[in-house]
Amino acid sequence: MRLDVQVAGNRVTMTGRIDDSATFADLPARLPTSEIVIDTGGVTFVNSIGMREWIRLLRGLRETGRRVRLDRVADVLITQMNLIAEFVGERAVTISSFHAQYVCPACGAESAPLVDAVANAPLLQQMKVPAMPCPECGAQMELGDFPERYLTIFKG
Ligand SMILES: [Zn+2]
C-alpha cells in the first residue's frame, strides 16, 4: 500500500508506507503557516529513503517558520526517529503521543498501545514508559523492546 496523505486545515494524516515512492516535496506549500499537526498513526512501514523524505519534510516546515506537532507517531516511525541525531538533540519537533510495542509477562499477548507523551513527560524523560493493562488478561504490560529505541528522543 502506497502512502496516503490527507490534508485538512493544519492537520496532515498519513496512512500506509513511507518508502521509495513517498514524496513530500509539494506538501509544505499546501499547508497553512501555523502550527502543523501530523498524524502518522496509520503508517505501517518506513525505510531509509522514506526516512530521508520525512526528515526533509520536517526540516522544510521548520525552515518556513512552522511549528510541528506529531500525533500518534507510528511504532515504526518513532523507533527510526530515535536513531536520528537531529531529533534527539534539539527538540526539533513536539511529540504529543506515539505507539509502542508492549508485551504481557503474564499471558504473552503483544500490542502497540498509544502512549500520551505529554501526560507522561516526566516518566519518559527518565527513560521509563507508563504501565499499560493487557487487553487480554488485564495484567500490567511491559515495553517489548529496549527503552532507548523509543525514549532517547524524550530524554531530559
Ligand atoms: Zn496478558
- Look at residue 13 and tell me if it is in a domain: yes
pTM for the structure as a whole: 0.93
- Look at residue 135 and tell me if it is in a domain: yes
Indicate if 43 and 89 belong to the same structural domain: yes
Indicate if 82 and 130 belong to the same structural domain: no
- Look at residue 91 and tell me if it is in a domain: yes
Number of structural domains (the chain) is 2
Helix or strand or coil: residue 2? coil
Q: How far is the CA of 106 from the centre of ligand 1 (A)?
A: 5
Q: Across the strands, what pairs with 128?
A: none
Burial 55-81 (b: 16+ CB within 10 A, else e): bebbeebeeeebebbbbbbbbbbbbbb
Enclosing domain of residue 139 = 102-109+120-156
The CATH number of residue 66's host domain is 3.30.750.24
Indicate if 18 and 92 belong to the same structural domain: yes
Indicate if 22 and 88 belong to the same structural domain: yes
- Look at residue 63 and tell me if it is in a domain: yes
Task: Give the pLDDT band of residue 87 (cuts 50, 70, 90).
Answer: confident
Q: In what order do the strands lie in the sheet with 132-133?
A: 110-111, 102-103, 140-143, 132-133
What are the tens digits of pLDDT across the range 108-126? 999 999 999 999 999 999 9
Spatial separation of the C-alpha atoms in residues 36 and 100, rounded to whole Å:
23
Indicate if 90 and 41 belong to the same structural domain: yes
Indicate if 37 and 73 belong to the same structural domain: yes
Indicate if 81 and 139 belong to the same structural domain: no
- Look at residue 114 and tell me if it is in a domain: no
Indicate if 23 and 92 belong to the same structural domain: yes
- Look at residue 12 and tell me if it is in a domain: yes
Q: How far is the CA of 110 from the centre of ligand 1 (A)?
A: 8
Q: How far is the CA of 113 from the centre of ligand 1 (A)?
A: 13
Q: How far is the CA of 120 from the centre of ligand 1 (A)?
A: 22
Q: Across the strands, what pairs with 37?
A: 11, 69
What are the tens digits of pLDDT across the range 5-64? 999 999 999 999 999 999 899 999 999 988 999 999 999 999 999 999 999 999 999 888
Instruction: Note whether 42 and 74 are within 8 A (CB).
Output: yes
Indicate if 23 and 81 belong to the same structural domain: yes
Residue 71 has pLDDT above 90, yes or no: yes
Q: How far is the CA of 118 from the centre of ligand 1 (A)?
A: 26
Q: How far is the CA of 145 from the centre of ligand 1 (A)?
A: 17
Task: Give the pLDDT band of residue 90 (cuts 50, 70, 90).
Answer: low
Spatial separation of the C-alpha atoms in residues 95 and 58, rounded to whole Å:
12
What residue has cell string 516535496?
A: 25
